[in-house]
Amino acid sequence: MIDRAEMAENAGASMDAADPAQADVGAGLDHAVFVALGCNDKGAWSSCREALEAALARFRPEGIDIVRRSSWWRSQAWPNPEDPHFLNGVVQVETSLSPQELMTTLGRIEDAMGRVRSGRNAPRTLDLDLIAYGRLAGDFDGLILPHPRAAERLFVMGPLAEIAPEWPHPMGGAAAELAQASTVGTDARPVS
């Protein structure tokens, strides 16, 4: 379990969500919290885009403020390209929640949006992953930070590099470099 004082320290400097261009990017990226979103089963919504926007609308009431967001990126499903295509994106957020509390909250949002866990990598209405929480690196009671496979996935690193290209991955490499070196989901491209 991570200490609350450590959480406050790692929550980082506040960034102006209304004008991200004015944010002190260099100082804020060491404390940045990133969440990846994905959908390839629109469920009750008219499209995956609508489902993802509905998920984002649930963040603030749960104590998660969006600082920056990427465009939506489309890619083939992985590992089975015969499943419906994915729509993915990444948001940088601020929250006073600990990493474990944030993961619990993200799971609650997934459940409220109708996610059914029928099997690993099965089509899903919503997939929310905590990619990074400041510079934390390691296994925190089963929560591995940064996300252990994010750096190899273009559908995560591409959107992340779009909003924070110089973000330093805790295990090495900047987001833009990692996006260029990604080996999974290499067909991912922005659609908005």
Query: Catalytic site residues?
Result: 115, 124, 127, 129
Bond preceding residue 61 cis, omega within 30 of 0: no
Torsions phi, psi for 159 (to 5 deg): -60, -35
CA distance 58 to 103: 14
The CA distance from 131 to 66, in Å, is 15
Cα R_g (the chain), whole angstroms = 16
Which tokens is 58 given? 């649930």
